[in-house]
Structures are given as structure tokens and as C-alpha cells.
Amino acid sequence: MLTRRDLIRASGGALALSVAGACAPSAPAGPTPAAPAPTVSGATTTLPAYVPFQGPKPDFPPSSDGIVPAGYLTFPKNLVKSSSGPAGKEGDSVSFLTYSINPTPAPVDQNPAWQQVNKDLGLSLQFTYTALQDYNVKLSTVISSGQLPDIFTMNVLGVQIPSEAEFFQSQCAELTPFLGGDAIKAYPNLANLPQTAWRNCLYAGKLYALPRVVNAVGSTMLVQLNALDDVGISQIKSTDDFSNAVKQTTRNGVYGIGGVQAPNMQWVLGMFRAPNQWREQGGKFTRDWETPEYKEAVALMRGFWDAGYVHPDTPTYVAQQGAQPFYAGKFAMYPTNFFAFGIAWDRLLGINKNFRLSALVAPGTQFQDWGGNQITVLKKGSPDRIKQVLGVLNYLAAPFGSSEHLTLTYGVEGVDFNYDPSGNPVYTDTGKNNVQYIAWQTIISPPAVLYDALDANFVKTAHPIETAAHDEAVTDASVGLYSPSNAAKGASLTQTMTDGVNQILFGRAPVDSLDQLVKDWRNNGGDTIRSEFEAEYAKNRS
């Protein structure tokens, strides 16, 4: 085994990950009590308190802040009820606007799982589905119409709307009185969401949203251990070690690395100790692009390209297209995040059981994610209505190990799923179609756990790696701060930078052209975004 700090080896085999969460260390122990909720705005607003779920004991405990998930080697036998009863009464309904990346499931009158959830809640859930790629256009249309649903998702694919803070203040429910500090304890499943994710739900120092949480440990570099073994590499403790590994594993038609583009350079940037997007020092903010560490990382990757160590199809990859050639053994290392670590392990089970997969912890710092991939917002309503809708979201956030989570994730036993001989729930064809991707899973989600129905070795492998990565966590200083200019122009400015850096990475522009890209970014809005973050930060500190 390589050192815990640098590379913890997989023990062989593969598994199928349940997208319920992720986590697992070695000597089980109860989680450390969470720290009190910190004041975050104007000394008046506190983040929601963090109260971990007390359910079936995991084999590997979560970190005290909930970032490293709990790990279960087997599906819990004794599930716990996590909600306190119906949120409504017959005739009540709650409407949602959300998206889907899969075919629409059967309607409620043909969907036993949906019927059961309605029964548990004592009201009717009503969904409006839109394809993911069309969602932000649909949302804008709905906002313009003035006919907001009770609950809707925002910041999907990282897209903010112009004047977002003003929209929240005028059209959406402020949730601070209901969820700030200890108030959230009325909704125990919401209190179970890691505290770091709530920072991105603050606008003008007040809570206007709930996070849809994901594994927040952050970026990683997947590695085919077979390739390292073949060249006698047993550890990666420095930039030189990494460079040598990339060079040595480029042999016999296999490349040392593939899939690294400007948007997914986080692991490499962490190795150079660049900022995780924004760094704050003495109230002054610096974007990663402006630092010498960023330029050094770009120069390293450009050198790999020039030397022929990078898979030549890398410039053409869109999203996660690099995964399949990595699984096929066409390159030794592939950048992604820890959520994808489990997916990759699963996929390899059906492709190549001899492919020994692991993940590298960068020999520098670890970029921790903000904790979610979008936010959920409520339209304005009476206090009683807001409490009712929050009760629905509390049910939908039921954690792994609860009876509600079993229903929400797998549906009705005998219809949507059955238990296998090991006690793991397994979808029927009906469950795959009607439950696996139903709308409530895109609205809010419980904390991730590491659990695998096919191979518990993944849990044993992943948890120490994620724990080691979390030990080196560096966060983005801008999380929880709002910049109007960033909402309006940030995405386009980032795209321009991304395109320009890719030109450098793949030999189409010199490394020094990064200087002009940064200058243009600053002049076209970057400096304004910086000043707005600094002003918001100063206000929140006063």
C-alpha cells in the first residue's frame, strides 16, 4: 500500500455504488460533535445548526463536519423512521419545477412509490418536468410569468439569473426564521445536511434556499494501479514524482494521462497550492488565474502535451467522455471527483475485473467543493405554508438508513424492488423506470454515504482516501458571498478564460498568453467581481 497521504491502493475487485452517499474509515467510532453554527452575516444570521442523523451505526463513521461520508459494508437491517408524520392533509398539494435527465416515470395513478410517498406526506406532490439542458430557459419563462410553483431548483449547471439576490428578496421565502441556527432542529433531516453546503444559500446575509448536497470531498485523480506497478512506481509524494509517473506510464500505446482540460484541472492546481477559485488574505481576494501557481500548473500540463504524454483525443472530450477510454486502459490517470470514483469502480466491474483502480490525494492541497450542485427555493407564503413545504423537503431529505429513504430510493417492496440473498434492495424493471430517477431526487438529497451492494471493498478503499484528502482541504473563499457582476457575467468570463487556457494546454498558444487572458478578464469584469466579493466579505465581518 502506498502512503495514506499520497496514494492508497485499491484492494482489487469492483463494486456497484448506490447513489445514496459515500464514506468509510478503518476503526469505527462515533462522529465527533459538530461545532456551533458560526455567525456569517452582519453578526445576526447564523448558519443552520448541524445535527448528524442517529441511525444505523455505520461501519466507518463520517467526519465531524459531515464532509467525508459514512460507510456501510452491508445494507442496514434495522431502518429508522426519520420524520414525524404527515406534512399535510387530504386535498393539500405541493408543486415542484425541476428537471430530468431520463424518461419521465409513470404518472402517480400508475406509480406505487409516488402513491406511497403521497400517503406518507398526507398530500399530493405535483411535478413539472423539463429536460436538463432546457431547464434554465424554462425557469426564466416561469419567473417571467409570475406563476411560481411552491418549490423550484436554481443555479442548475452553475447558471445564476441576473439580479438573483433581488429576485430572492422580492419573490421567494426568506428561510432564516425557519432554518437559521437551532430553528432547523424542527426539521431533523435538514439539520443533517453538512453545514458547509448552506453557505451557498445565503443572500444579503439571509437564507433563501436549501442545498441539494453531494459528496463535497472534491477533486481527485483516478489511477490505474496496474500501470504504476508495471513501471515500479509505488508512491507519489511530490510534483516531480507525479511528472515521473506520467512520463514512465506513457508506453506501449498507453498514455500517462488523459482528460485534463481547463475546467477540471483542480487536482493539478491543488498540487501547486493554487487557490480553490478565490483566495482571501487580509480581506483581499485573488482569483486562481492570477497566481504564479496557476501558471506553473498550466506550464506543466503544456509540457506533458508537447512531450506526447497526454492522450491525443483529450482536447475533444466533452463532460465525462474521457471516462470510457480510461476504463479501456488507454491512459493511466484521469482527473475527476470523488463521486465519480464510485461510478468508475462500478463500471469497471463489467469491463475489466483485473483493472485495479484507486485515487490519488494531491501532494499539496485538496480542493473541497462547496457541498452541493444546485439550490432549492420556495416561493413566498404564509408562515404555516412555509412550514408545511419545509416538512415535505424534510421528508424528501430522509437519510440512508431510514425507512423513508428506502421508499424514496427504491419504492415499494415486491413492486419496485426486492431484496437479494445478502439483504440488499435491488430494483425490478418497474422500479428502474418509475423510481430510480423520479423528480424528488433532483430537488433535494440527503448526505452521501459509501455503500455498495456488489463489492464492499470499494467502501474499504474509498474511505481512507477521502479522509486523507479531507485532511488537506482548501475551500473557495467566495462561497456564501454574492456578486451581482458574477451572477450576470461570471459564466461568460469563465468560458472565455477556459477556452483560452485550453488553447495553451493543447499547443495552440504559448504559455505566456495566459497573462493577456488574465488582463482581459480583469478589464471585462473580473476586477468588479473581486471588489464586490471584498465588499460583501467586509460587510459580513463587521
β-partners of residue 379 are: 172
pLDDT class of 45 with cuts at 50, 70, 90: low
Q: 144-169: buried (b, 16+ CB within 10 Å) or exposed (e) per residue?
A: eeeebbbbbbbbbeeebbeebbebbe
pLDDT class of 40 with cuts at 50, 70, 90: very low
**CATH code assigned at 422:** 3.40.190.10
Q: Report yes or no: 488 and 49 within 8 Å, Cβ to Cβ.
A: no
Question: What is residue 520's three-state secondary structure?
Answer: helix
Mean pLDDT of the chain: 90
pLDDT, mean of residues 193-220: 94
354 shares a domain with 485:
yes
Q: What is the pLDDT of residue 217?
A: 96
The CA-based angle 524-531-378, given to 5 degrees, is 95
Q: Is residue 498 part of a domain?
A: yes
Q: Is residue 345 part of a domain?
A: yes
Angstrom distance (rounded) from CA 361 to CA 463: 12
Q: Report yes or no: 467 and 63 within 8 Å, Cβ to Cβ.
A: yes
288 shares a domain with 164:
no
pLDDT, mean of residues 466-479: 96
Q: Choose one of 453, 470, 492: the last residue of a domain.
A: 453
Amino acid letter, residue 96: F
Angstrom distance (rounded) from CA 200 to CA 179: 14
413 shares a domain with 317:
no
pLDDT in tens, 378-401: 999 999 999 999 999 999 999 999
- Is the model's pLDDT at 2 over the cut of 50? no
- Is the model's pLDDT at 412 over the cut of 50? yes
β-partners of residue 221 are: 335, 360
Share of the chain above pLDDT 90, in %: 82
Cell of 481: 458571498
Q: Is residue 266 part of a domain?
A: yes
pLDDT class of 365 with cuts at 50, 70, 90: very high
236 shares a domain with 205:
no
pLDDT in tens, 93-114: 999 999 988 888 899 999 999 9
pLDDT in tens, 268-318: 999 999 999 999 999 999 999 999 999 999 999 999 999 999 999 999 999
Q: Is residue 338 part of a domain?
A: yes
Residue 444 lies in domain: 70-216+371-453
Q: Is residue 54 part of a domain?
A: no
Q: Is residue 44 part of a domain?
A: no
123 shares a domain with 152:
yes
pLDDT in tens, 234-243: 999 999 999 9
Rounded to the nearest 10°, the torsion over CA 317, 319, 324, 327 is 110
pLDDT in tens, 318-329: 988 999 999 999
Q: What is the pLDDT of residue 541?
A: 80
pLDDT class of 215 with cuts at 50, 70, 90: very high
Q: Is residue 8 part of a domain?
A: no
Q: Report yes or no: 22 and 71 within 8 Å, Cβ to Cβ.
A: yes
Structural domains in the chain (count): 2
Cell of 169: 428578496
- Is the model's pLDDT at 500 over the cut of 60? yes
